[in-house]
Amino acid sequence: MYESEARSTRDWLQDRVFAFVQPRPTSIAFCRMSFDIIRDPLWNNIRVDPLTLSLIDTPVFQRLRYVRQLGLAFYVYPGATHSRFEHALGTYHLARRTLALFEERNPFGAVGRDEFRLVRIAALLHDIGHYPFSHALEEIGAMHHEDVARPLICSGPLAEMLCRELGTGSPDAIVSLIRGESDSSLQGLISGSIDLDKLDYLRRDAFMCGVSYGEIDVDRLVNSLTLVPNPDTGRPEVGIVEKGLSALESLLFARYQMYRNVYWHHAVRSATAMYKRLVADALNAGSLDASTLAGFTDEGILYDLSQRAPTRLLAALRERRLYKRAFECPAADLVPDAGEWIADDRALTLQVENALARELGLQPGDVLLDYPTKTQMLGLDLLVLRRGGTVRRLTAEGWQGSINLPKLSEEFYRSARWLRVYTSTRLHIESRRVLGLVQQSAEQVRERVALGSRLLD
């Protein structure tokens, strides 16, 4: 009798265990979904669905493997060889994480499932149009990479996949998200004050460079993001809960530190100025066609130039014989708008560089002017959900007496941005002579160049 009861109990337990490990009927569809795992040094496991994997495997996306995220920064930080490919995957991963949190709080109540899918793909494809060596060529007047992205997404294999899986209007919707022109409630995740692009590249760039400047609390920021009603329209928008503002301050400080110590490091800017002049000369000489720039990889464009138009400048860049600083001055020490023509008028800058080379007894191309394109350290236009439940918009004016992020942003920006004169050989130019030149307007400088007048009085 006892053995029979024991056997009966054992059989009952086996039945329960068997039933527990079998898939539930409601999970059959989930089990049939296939996900691939991509290992990433920053975020560990990145899960990708079949559509995402198909987009990754297209030639236009694979090109990003060979476009360095930080351009020529590897001349200073040897580990900075990571690519736009890795960054795109990281941004996609953060989009998945953030949207999963939004879904938990309000399962597709304010925003539909289809819109979530579009945002994930926009995060993946946001840098698809980048030029070789990243942003440098945009500083010489090349079309912005977001404009380059449109034909790549709206035609060819990418468009075919997107239309088949997400609908015929999906390519245009994704481009609108990337360009910051969409009316989607989720626009702020792709292009905005605290978009996911920034969260990935600051952490990734700092990690790969081996510096601690970009250490921001990504988990806190992502968990602080939420959908809040716009006070003017009532429509939901991406915002942040008030307790997340301290993490937003850390983002601002990290971005300042990375610009000052990595992105705008004097040797990185020297290499960038050399590369810009190299490509500008090739374009002016007809050795390169501007319409083909976005199809090159980093090494591809240097190889093409070496075959078509080998120069001393190209050899110096490839051998890391970087130009030296003959003059430098932070924007904070300049009068407002001084030298902006260096960043905005590439044709005039080339003329001035050649004129200065003659005055200093050097060859054309041996003097380079560099003033990074003016940008906002933290462009603020963000809805904040306050502790009492009210919603307030945080803009460049800030909140008087409490939130000083805009003021800090402008001060950080002016101290991180430097105007420099580089020369192929080490020499020094008196500050007063350079300041006398850069503080003139573009029209005044252009007239002096046309008259053949000396520029360094």
Q: Note the pLDDT tens digit of each residue in 397-407.
A: 666 445 566 66
Give 179-210 pLDDT, tens digit per residue.
999 999 999 999 988 899 999 999 999 999 99
- Listing DSSP states for 68-102 in one string gives BTTTTGGGTSTT---BHHHHHHHHHHHHHHHHHHH
Give 357-395 pLDDT, tens digit per residue.
999 999 999 999 999 986 665 667 889 999 888 898 887
pTM for the full predicted model: 0.88
Report pLDDT for 65: 97
Average pLDDT over residues 248-256: 85
Collapsing DSSP states into helix, strand and coil, what is residue 419? strand
Report pLDDT for 269: 97
**pLDDT at residue 177 greater than cutoff 90:** yes
Query: What CA–CA distance (Å, rounded) separates 244 from 227?
Result: 14
Residue entry with tokens 């698809």: 128
Question: Which of 347, 282, 139 lies closest to 355, judged by CA?
Answer: 347
Report pLDDT for 282: 94
Average pLDDT over residues 41-52: 95
Number of other residues whose CB lies within 10 A of the CB of residue 320:
12
Question: Which of 333, 323, 328, 330 lies closest to 429, judged by CA?
Answer: 328
Determine contact, residues 92/123, Cβ cutoff 8 Å: yes
Higher pLDDT, 253 or 205: 205
Q: How confident is the model at residue 19 (pLDDT cuts 50, 70, 90)?
A: very low
Give 99-158 pLDDT, tens digit per residue.
999 988 775 566 788 899 999 999 999 999 999 998 889 888 888 888 889 999 999 999
Q: How confident is the model at residue 25 (pLDDT cuts 50, 70, 90)?
A: very low
Q: Which range has the worst mean pLDDT, 274-278, 290-294, 433-437?
A: 290-294
**pLDDT at residue 318 greater than cutoff 70:** yes
Higher pLDDT, 13 or 53: 53
Q: How confident is the model at residue 286 (pLDDT cuts 50, 70, 90)?
A: very high
Report pLDDT for 11: 46
Report pLDDT for 376: 63
**pLDDT at residue 16 greater than cutoff 60:** no
Report pLDDT for 404: 62
Report pLDDT for 140: 87
In 259-370, which ranges are continuous DSSP H helix? 266-285, 298-308, 312-318, 340-344, 346-359
Query: What CA–CA distance (Å, rounded) separates 94 from 107?
Result: 18
The partner residues of 403 in beta bridges, in order of sequence, read 399
Average pLDDT over residues 288-295: 90
Give 219-246 pLDDT, tens digit per residue.
999 999 999 988 888 888 999 999 998 8
Q: Retrieve residue 74's tokens.
A: 């590897």
Determine contact, residues 352/303, Cβ cutoff 8 Å: no
Report pLDDT for 145: 81
Question: Which of 196, 152, 194 lies closest to 43, judged by CA?
Answer: 196
Give, in order, the Cα–Cα distances in Å from 190 to each of 22, 166, 181, 449: 40, 18, 10, 43
Question: Taking all residues of the chain, what is their mean pLDDT, rounded to a whole number?
Answer: 87
Collapsing DSSP states into helix, strand and coil, what is residue 417? coil
**pLDDT at residue 170 greater than cutoff 50:** yes
Cα separation of the two ends of the chain: 113
- Residues contacting residue 395 through CB under 8 Å, at least 6 positions apart: 380, 381, 382, 406
Domain ranges of the chain: 35-265, 323-385+406-457
Beta strands per DSSP E along 202-267: 225-229, 236-241
Determine contact, residues 129/145, Cβ cutoff 8 Å: yes
Select 35-265's CATH number: 3.40.640.10, 3.40.50.300, 2.60.40.10, 1.10.3210.10. Answer: 1.10.3210.10
**pLDDT at residue 4 greater than cutoff 80:** no
Query: What CA–CA distance (Å, rounded) separates 407 from 411?
Result: 6
Report pLDDT for 377: 57
